[in-house]
Homo-oligomer: A and B are copies of this chain.
Amino acid sequence: MMIPESFAVELVPWKEAVALSKDLGECIRGKYHPDLVIAIGRGGYVPGRVVCDSLLITTLTSIKIEHWGEAANCYGEAHIRYPLSVDVEGQDLLVVDDVTDTGKTLIAAIEYLQSLRPGSIKTGVLHHKTTSTFIPDFYAKMVPEWHWIVYPWALHEDLVGFVEKVMTGRSATPGKIRSTLNKRYHMRPGMDDVVFAARELVERGIAEETGDGYRLKNIL
């Protein structure tokens, strides 16, 4: 899947992300009572914790799934980076993540977990995009029009990628970077967060500071 040059990005505020996490818990209550909740790292950490509190489940652990291929997106092949450390044979598992986009993350998670011979596996996410080939058992919200979703716990790392995409070899002030982000991705991050991302690009040697802004280095 190719990422287009311009598309809509939704910055989910904390309040909404928490509400969706609670909604996910409510979706699951009474329908499934897992022995163990498995948060997918790193997007499932906050939803997983909130779902446990909604369902009053104290058994929470995590696995980390990474994607090969292009950095900072979910379109490479998924593989298990950090496996489980406990025996789940015969147990009823609930796997929690933030979003189904292509569905590759949850497909990889289930394939891995099936090999451990659990009793059952069900999946829950905050946003289920209908572009996903995988349909989770539970989701707080369906997303029929594809757009990129930035969760508040990933704001900085996602923003570093977006700021890099809108920067060029010509100097741009933080205000200019922010207005380009708005024009191209329809997002309005805080100015502090834009500066944070630009400074990180400088630290990584990708960008440099100019008198009043930032520009990419080594642009031919």
Contacts and interface: CB of A to CB of B under 8 A. Distances in A.
A83 B53 CA distance: 22
Interface stretch (A125-133, A134-142, A148-156, A183-191): A148-156
Contact of A39 (B45, B50, B152, B200): B45
A54 B156 contact: yes
Interface residues of A, number: 34
Contacts of A42: 49, 52, 58, 60
Interface of A: 14-15, 18, 39, 41-42, 45-46, 48-50, 52-54, 56, 58, 60-64, 82-86, 152-157, 160, 200
Helix, strand, loop or mixed for chain A's interface?
Answer: helix
A155 to B, nearest CB: 6
